[in-house]
Amino acid sequence: MQLVNHTIPEAVLDGILKGICNYFDPTTLNERKVYRKKGALDTIRWDQNFTSVENREYLKLFAHPQFHAPSYASAFSKIVEEYSKEMRKVVGGLAKAISKTLGFEENYIENAFNMKSGFDVMAMNLYPPNSRSKGRVGLPEHTDPGFVITLTQDVNGGLQILSHKGKWINSYIPHHGILIQLGDHLEILTNGKYKSHIHRVIVDNNKVQRVSVVSLHGPSLDKVIGPGEEFVDDEHPKKYHDTTYKASLEANGCDLIDVQSSLEDLRI
């Protein structure tokens, strides 16, 4: 779904997108290389992948409960922190609204995920124009873990969502709008009633560079997430294993900052 008329000031949205373009300035490449993968405890990670299966430069960071950002780029880090705080308010509202759509009182999701200590990771992505990419794929198909994933971007183009009929749908987001995607752990909590959908980025027709800001808003790391008892009965047997959010992110040897999906491993 898309959100318009939300509470995030346009200056904050424009500020982060411009800040990312500046941060990814090709002439300052060496400064960012300090955030290349060091190990499992990385709280900030940068890399550039230009291959046949991925074409993007990204910066990922832990945004909540503790905010981490590049210390050498303090003006940019301030903008990112402000964006993160504003987006958390939006997500707090979504947690209430989605609780109600499920027929519960408004704090249902907040409690089920312990969102006050929720683990948020931000990924800031830059996709080159097609002329500079090494193939048609910006980012291969995947789902994302967590409650919801919020996305803002500078220009439309490339993000596709797989429909329930198996067709790739181009996603068009209004200027200054926010795209909301449902995460794996909402699918798990609702025992498959709400689905986390597969998406990808295709750079085929992109004439210009595109920047996106993707925030994965998750439960607290120590919270055990499994299908809520309200969603399980004789007709709807439990479809997913219970696991802490941390363990689900660390499945298959992944690091927390990878925020990789392990939905397939969690299916019963």
Ligand X SMILES: O=C(O)CCC(=O)C(=O)O
Q: Quick one: CA torsion of 5, 6, 12, 14, rounded to 10 degrees? A: -40
Q: What is the DSSP letter of 10?
A: H
Q: What does 178 bind: ligand X, Fe ion, none (CB cut-off 5 to 8 Å by kind)?
A: none
Q: What is the DSSP letter of 219?
A: -
Say how many residues touch ligand X, by CB under 6 A.
Answer: 10
Under rule CB under 6 A, residue 125 binds ligand X: yes
d(CA 248, CA 226): 11
Q: What does 124 bind: ligand X, Fe ion, none (CB cut-off 5 to 8 Å by kind)?
A: none
Q: What does 125 bind: Fe ion, ligand X, none (CB cut-off 5 to 8 Å by kind)?
A: ligand X
H-run or E-run covering 113: helix 108-113
Least distance between Fe ion and beta carbon 53 (Å): 15
Residue type, 87: M
Under rule CB under 6 A, residue 212 binds ligand X: yes
Radius of gyration, alpha carbons of the chain: 18
Under rule CB under 6 A, residue 68 binds ligand X: no
d(CA 130, CA 97): 39
Under rule CB under 6 A, residue 201 binds ligand X: yes
Could you write out the DSSP letters of every residue in 156-182?
Answer: --SEEEE-TTS-EEE----TT-EEEEE
d(CA 137, CA 202): 5
Binder among 32, 45, 64, 199 for ligand X (CB under 6 A): 199
Say how many residues touch Fe ion, by CB under 5 A.
Answer: 1
Least distance between Fe ion and beta carbon 142 (Å): 6
| Phi, psi for 58 (deg, rounded to 5) | -140, 155
Binder among 54, 57, 120, 144 for Fe ion (CB under 5 A): 144
Q: Which stretch binds Fe ion (CB under 5 A): 54-62, 91-99, 138-146, 152-160?
A: 138-146
Least distance between Fe ion and beta carbon 171 (Å): 11
Binder among 144, 154, 250, 258 for ligand X (CB under 6 A): 144
Least distance between Fe ion and beta carbon 213 (Å): 12
Under rule CB under 6 A, residue 13 binds ligand X: no
Under rule CB under 6 A, residue 243 binds ligand X: no
Output 188 or 211, the one with its CB closest to ligand X: 211
- Token digits of residue 36: 């290349």
Under rule CB under 6 A, residue 190 binds ligand X: no
Question: Residues 144, 181: contact at Cβ < 8 Å?
Answer: yes
- List the alpha helices (DSSP H) in 102-235: 108-113, 184-189
Under rule CB under 5 A, residue 54 binds Fe ion: no
Question: Residues 202, 136: contact at Cβ < 8 Å?
Answer: yes
Q: Give contact residues for ligand X (rule: CB under 6 A).
A: 123, 125, 139, 144, 151, 159, 199, 201, 212, 214
Q: Give contact residues for Fe ion (rule: CB under 5 A).
A: 144
